[in-house]
Amino acid sequence: MIFQALITMFVAFVCMGLNYVFHFFMARLLSPVIYGELAVIIGILSVLLVPTSSIQTLLTREIAKLDKKHNEKVIICLIKEYSKIVFLGGIFVGIILFFSSYLIARVFNNSQLISPIQIVALEIPFAFLLPVLRAYYQGKERILRLSVILVSEPFLKVIFALSLVLLGFGLVGVTFSLLVGPLLLSFLIIPIVLNKSKSLAHSLNLSKSFFLILFTSVLIMLFLYLDLFFVRYYLGSEQAGYYNIASITSKVLFYAASGINLVFLPKSSKLNIHKDKKRIKSLLFKSFLLMLPIFILFISFPGQIISIFYTEKYLGASTPFVILSIGIFALGIYSVFLNFLWSQRMEKISLVLSAALVFTDILLLIYLTPTYGLVGASIATTFSAILFLLISLFVIGSYLRK
């Protein structure tokens, strides 16, 4: 597991780096007004694509379980079945977005948003289809192929965005580049879909699991940004700017955990919580060890890290950064635990825990942020993450002790 996880962690960092390069160039090549409109479109797209991570999680789990039993024909049939369902769902979302473009443009009082949003709408079905392909490779633990696909998405986005902007296509060109990766890469699923395997009686009703995982994923995403929202509300935009530096840097730990989960989920899906206790404990412990070096680096050299990436004027964010690094480290391990619960079809437990996590964080932020400022907000987030990491550890431990 360790070698594969190191690859996927490296891939996660490469993807983050390419996305940073994208924003670096777009902020300089576009005017502030157009770059602001691009931010709106990216925000809309991010919301619409939230369900795709749940699709990938579910199919990865099922494919991994089938792959353990060497049911390749059943896996192919599963891919065929859900490619159609997911693609049709993407068409539905795309149609809604296409005709909502006029309303969105009116809300933001800018008719120039209509065409870019409609371009996104036409590409949405392919963005929904791509997670099925990623799930196929992830579930079968073909990590190198999965890594190539993951890196190709932001790489194609950067190349097309730079080319189209320099050719004078402006916001329309950048918008097209956002989903050109999924548009091209989704065609790789065609050989799988066209496989001549005969249809088998294997239909999985994943709707209940999908919504439980989707709601949990939304809650975790909300948790990642709650503290920033409260800082902006109570302390103003300047303090929010300082806090954002600490927040986005500490989140590297969470994205490192996401890279680990690419390997962890299919491996844990093949295990049984009652029969494979020793292997499960080993996987969980290895995940913790893989995240530890980055965490130690962050809390050992906070000032240097802030100065190198954001200049010395943001050194005021160093203390919140150290505190948040502890919290996001805990959240990263908690996300591994969530993936384990999902792999064992314990979606209800993960949803209850995550809902309680967000509720606790809100209460602490309301009390600590106006009283103790940036430090208070970071303490609220960190305390909540550690508390529910310990609770989830107790829950999983109780199953492993049976």
- Quick: pLDDT tens for 10-27: 888 898 889 888 877 887
Convert the pLDDT of each residue in 301-348 to its tens digit: 988 888 877 777 777 778 999 999 999 999 999 999 999 999 998 999
Tokens read off for 191: 């050989």
Inform me whether the pLDDT recorded for 199 exceeds 60.
no
Tokens read off for 235: 């302390």
For the chain, what is the mean pLDDT? 86
What are the two backbone dihedrals, phi and then psi, of residue 236, each rounded to the nearest 5 degrees?
Answer: 95, 175
Mean pLDDT of 19-48: 78
Distance CA 81, CA 310 (A): 48
Inform me whether the pLDDT recorded for 204 exceeds 60.
no
pLDDT of residue 111: 82
Longest Cα–Cα distance in the chain: 65
Q: Looking at this protein, which amino acid is placed at residue 351?
A: L
Tokens read off for 127: 């963005």
Q: Out of 83-92, 103-112, 203-212, 337-346, which region has the weakest mean confidence (pLDDT)?
A: 203-212
Closest CA to 29 of 176, 174, 155: 174
Percentage of the chain beyond pLDDT 70 is 96
pLDDT of residue 383: 97
pLDDT of residue 201: 44
Inform me whether the pLDDT recorded for 250 exceeds 80.
yes
Q: Out of 52-56, 106-110, 127-131, 370-374, which region has the weakest mean confidence (pLDDT)?
A: 106-110
Q: Nearest 10 degrees: CA dihedral of 34, 35, 36, 38?
A: 90
Inform me whether the pLDDT recorded for 196 exceeds 80.
no
